[in-house]
Chain A
Amino acid sequence: MWLYALRRLLLTIPILLGVTIICFALVKLAPGDPIQNLVRPETPPEEVAKLRAYYGLDQPVVIQYFVWLWRVLCGDLGRSIANNALVSEEVVRAFLNTLNIALISVVIAFVASMALGIIAATRQGGAVDKLVTAIAVFGISVPTFWLAVVLVIFFAVNLNWLPATGMGADGSHGFNYFDWNDFKFAVMPIIALALPPLGIMTRTTRSALSEVLNQDFIQTLRAKGLSEGRIIVHAVRNIMPGATAMLGLQLGYLIGGSVLVETVFTWPGTGFLLNKAILTRDIPLLQGTILVLATVFVLINLVVDLAQSMIDPRIKRI
């Protein structure tokens, strides 16, 4: 177990290095001179020359990478072209906003998908099962930004129940998730984010559960006279390790893939930051945000793997 944890931990290092290489390459992918992509256009030429040396852009590409990597490790992600703010500060502030709605969404999706999956797996082939499957297919196929727009049409335009965009008067500074006047801004983003993972997890839960329910030990439990409800408890315990792994993975996808939903609702998270970076071609902001999000995704995967090997005694990974 500890050996596995250590190995898994060590395997993360080359992956993270690879992530930094890709993020570094993004600046090279962007058309034009890299330094022009990194500094504000009105910067005086002598300042540009100084920054060129600072970023090591006058040196071979390998050296450039290590110069950049060293700055990243020191917490320096550069400055945003749009407002000259520190990218690291912008990303951290936005990340907390994203994390909040992503966490709530994934928990809602998880609970709902377990309930739907159990209902469907115990009534296989019936009308309820078909309905659940339809919900799952809808969740998997729906473009989230369209869903977000439709939510706005219903709840903001037609019913006028919820605010269409933003995060309230105080923005992220005084946002209180336990105060309805603040939380109502988060309701639609949470719903729009929750539906795709709900679809995916419902489908996985249903198929995993129906597989377990066909196993011999369920027959034995039934023969022993256990009630169907108790049998379900046994079966659900069996699929729990896989389901929790799924939960972690989906959380990672939500954090990394929130750009469309946050753009529609102008929710000031990392996705909105990415959208801003794209619109203004703010390459340092784009690069920094992507680096942070990808790193978080890798770390979530690491935690998921470790947690799974801990809670599931059947997995013996060396």
Chain B
Amino acid sequence: MSVIPADSASLPAAQGAPATKVRGYWGSVWNRLRYDYVTLFCLGLIIVIILLAVFAPWLSPMDPEKSSMANRLRPIGYKKYLLGTDEQGRDMVSRLLWGGRVSLMMGILPVVFATLVGGMFGVVAGYYGGKVNMVIMRTMDIFFAFPSVLLAVAIAGSLGGGIGNQMLTLTVVLIPPICRVAETATSQVRALDFVDAARASGASTISILFSHVLINVLSPVLVYSSTLVSISIILASGLSFLGLGVSPPTADWGLMLSTLRQSIYVQPIVTALPGIAILITSIAFNLVSDGLRQAMDVKA
């Protein structure tokens, strides 16, 4: 990862002073992040949320899908129910922990898939230019004609509910913006002299793409992708809220909010809980991606 001459470019004098320790690109990013306490706190929060979700089977006090007619809609702190129960008497703590698995997965996996696919299309479009670029980017333009929520509802609404369809929908929705960012970054890198130099020295297209272009495109694309995690979580929970996500007994923050909504007059605070989980996760991801962007010095 030390290929990018970030520091040496901005400090040409440093080249003449071998005694000073030259920090690599990621080293300088970390150096800037180290004093950004808000970002570090949110990063810690995300790690905690992920751990809670991963270890949900061991952490949750009860079976998240086991209902109890006698204990429906209990308030926070009722007997052994730390955060109350839902409309079917299921323990909210367990359901929130298990729901986090689905919601986090829906935040992260579609972004990963979309980054791989969209990034690939973007790099190809940006590197080859011309007709290839036109075909790929004009196709993407069509998807930009839909607001993201509308596109998600359109695709998921036609495909129907289910976790696979939801994942597919979110991936399709996230590909065009990532593709656009990758294309812009690639065409900028491509215009630089060192790419021509590599080609003049006989490097193959594949090797130029991987060892010269990709590595320089990576940081803007990754920073941009990180901003999409929170969007993906909110979109996913919105789809689940509309009944286009996981099917009922399974816990998911969006679906929980949707089914609890009927009980708003009985247990308003318990009803609001899944949304608070979504909000905290989404704020944490948003602030971390903000911090990353600043530390990596990428323009929005």
Contacts and interface: CB of A to CB of B under 8 A. Distances in A.
B275 A30 contact: no
Given A18-B141, A157-B264, A297-B145, A146 B150 contact: no
Given A145-B241, A146-B279, A150-B275, A18 B153 contact: no
Which of B143, B145, B146, B230 is packed against the most chain A CB atoms within 10 Å? B145
21 contacts: A22-B142, A22-B154, A26-B155, A29-B155, A31-B159, A137-B286, A140-B230, A142-B282, A143-B234, A146-B274, A146-B276, A147-B275, A150-B272, A153-B264, A153-B271, A157-B264, A257-B148, A259-B242, A260-B238, A263-B241, A274-B157
Interface residues on A, range: 35 or more
Interface of A: 14-16, 18-19, 21-23, 26-27, 29-31, 137-138, 140-147, 149-150, 152-153, 157-158, 164, 252-253, 255-257, 259-260, 263-264, 274-275, 277-279, 281, 283, 286, 290, 293-294, 297-298, 301
Given A19-B142, A22-B142, A153 B272 contact: yes
A146 B278 contact: yes
A213 to B, nearest CB: 18
Nearest to A250: B147
A210 to B, nearest CB: 14
Main secondary structure of the interface of B (DSSP, over half): helix
Interface of B: 138-139, 141-143, 145-150, 153-155, 157-160, 230, 234, 237-238, 241-244, 254, 257, 261, 264-265, 268-269, 271-272, 274-276, 278-279, 282-283, 286-287
A257 B154 CA distance: 11
A74 to B, nearest CB: 22
Given A256-B147, A294-B146, 18 more contacts: A19-B146, A29-B158, A30-B158, A141-B282, A141-B283, A143-B282, A145-B237, A145-B254, A150-B275, A252-B147, A255-B147, A256-B146, A256-B150, A263-B241, A277-B157, A278-B244, A290-B150, A290-B153
B242 A278 contact: yes
Nearest to A152: B264
Nearest to B156: A278
Contacts of B265: 157
A252 B138 CA distance: 20
B150 to A, nearest CB: 4
- Per CB-CB distance, the 9 closest pairs between chain A and chain B, nearest first, are A146-B275, A18-B142, A256-B147, A257-B149, A256-B150, A141-B282, A29-B158, A153-B268, A141-B283
Nearest to B278: A143
Given A29-B158, A141-B286, A149 B153 contact: no
A78 B272 CA distance: 40
Contacts of B279: 141-143, 146
B242 A260 contact: yes
B160 A31 contact: yes
A215 B149 CA distance: 37
Contact of B149 (A21, A150, A256, A286): A256
A31 B164 CA distance: 14
